[in-house]
Amino acid sequence: MTADGLSVQLTAPNGRSYTQPTGLYINGQWVKSDGGVTLASTDPASTIVSVQSGSKSDIDKAVAAARAALKAPAWKNLQSSDRGRLLYRLADLVDEHRETLATIETRDNGKPYTVALNEDMAEATGTLRYYAGFSDKVFGQVMELSPDKFAYTVREPVGVCGQIIPMRQHRRAQTRRADPALDPVLRQSHRRSRLSPGVVNIINGPGSEAGAALATHPDVDKIAFTGSTATAREIMRMAAGTLKNITLETGGKSPLIVFDDAELGNAVEWAHLGIMSNQGQICTATSRILVQEGVHRRFVDAFKQQIREVSRVGDPFGETTYQGPQVTRAQHERILQYIDVGRAEGATLEAGGERVGDRGFFVQPTVFTDVTPEMRIFQEEVFGPFVTIMPFRTEEEAVALANGTQYGLGSAVFTTNLTRAHRVARAIESGMVWINSSNDCDWRIPFGGVKQSGIGRELGEAGLEAYSNVKAIHVNMKSKL
């Protein structure tokens, strides 16, 4: 612990040592929370470190710092190309510290280190560089209305934005919003990339206090949230008090349809990745697999074999580990409860169904068949390595089953018939459809859902639009009315 009590030296199980800030980051400084309350950051077995827990008064300070930075000439008048250079520098810093950042990510949420290091860091730097390149390419329009009048539009920042980041995918969520909140390297990020104090502020805290204060704050212009649909409804209600701009990326129960002409091996591999990667803790996880009845049994057997060969559960720092622990005890228990629900509803447990070991939040990859559309395990988001596999007869039935939940985030279609692939993709009610793959997102492509899976889009050019307002300027050239 340092003299000010706001950072500690830690050594992770993989041997990497790093200095971990434990304070709140407000106006360019690490500070203690007003209330002096702390939160425990835990791995599956023990407390890693205690960090300051922000309260409403801490949110007030952070929002005031952000509002001041927004209006300060040093930031307000910074040219767009210079903003782009700041993001490029931040991307370079992520590359420089990628092993440390990946270590923190793995230790905090349990995902395999190889995934955090290779996939998450690649997406983080790719997203930062994508938007860095876009920074000086945001243009308005000119509209000639008559010889005496024209108008033009400009895009302006939406203002002070509150980002509520999920614990399961810190780096990806941060950079998807071009938010350079890079915990242990943030101090030198500001120094070396010359970000003005107050541009980025980080408040650790419970959603019921810090999150609520952010969602209701009159000086916050936008709230972006990733998490459960139920929590998003509450955030939307709170944000309505000041008519905030919102982007909500919420729950999902995404379908994956396999037609009998699909390349079965390819479908099995992608279907496994689509639900079992990141311990199943993916909002877009394709957790409802629908297989045409002629190949249903073959698919189920091949899918179970894929689990046996690939889904190695264990230490997330292990080189061959595919599935680490669930992110929290509550999530671990939730999955086990849904396994009990599936049994009680009469579904057949094909694989898994048990916790792994007597220490930590590990659970076996779980597969249920003999599922019917009204079952809770078919309708409700489990958010874990938990999948249902159900047969269908016709294309129409497959589409009806795919659309038969309140969610509409992701979906996937496997077929070698391209006409059918595009037809079904258009018929599925979701914000994203993968054809012959699953969950291979890209920062250059819009991301978001429909129905109860969210509002708005992130990533791609649409991600920039979500954080700007269009101002129309009318120009009259007549000398008389």
Q: Which residues are catalytic?
A: 249
Q: What is the rounded CA–CA span in Å between residue 94 and residue 185?
A: 8
Q: What crossing angle do the helices spanning 395-402 and 418-427 adopt, rounded to 10°?
A: 30
Is residue 258 within 8 Å of 281, Cβ to Cβ? no
Residue given tokens 């709140």 in the structure block: 24
Phi and psi, residue 202, nearest 5° = -125, 125
* Residues 6+ positions from 426 with CB-CB distance below 8 Å: none
Residue given tokens 């999948």 in the structure block: 387
* Residues 6+ positions from 390 with CB-CB distance below 8 Å: 288, 289, 290, 291, 369, 371, 372, 378, 401
Token readout for 439 is 């969950």
Is residue 264 within 8 Å of 416, Cβ to Cβ? no
Token readout for 101 is 């950042």
* Residues 6+ positions from 430 with CB-CB distance below 8 Å: 254, 408, 409, 410, 411, 449, 450, 453
Q: What is the rounded CA–CA span in Å between residue 189 and residue 199?
A: 12
> What residues does 249 pair with on adjacent strands?
226, 454
Count Cβ atoms below 10 Å from residue 469 Cβ, excluding itself: 14
Where does 346-453 have alpha helices with state H? Answer: 376-379, 395-402, 418-427
Q: What is the rounded CA–CA span in Å between residue 404 and residue 407?
A: 8
Is residue 299 within 8 Å of 268, Cβ to Cβ? yes
Token readout for 161 is 């934005």
CA 157 → CA 221, 464, 471, 481, distances in Å? 10, 9, 10, 34
Q: What is the rounded CA–CA span in Å between residue 119 and residue 255?
A: 24
Of 334, 55, 25, give the one whose Cα is nearest residue 208. 55
Q: What type of residue is 416?
A: T
Q: What is the rounded CA–CA span in Å between residue 429 and residue 432?
A: 9
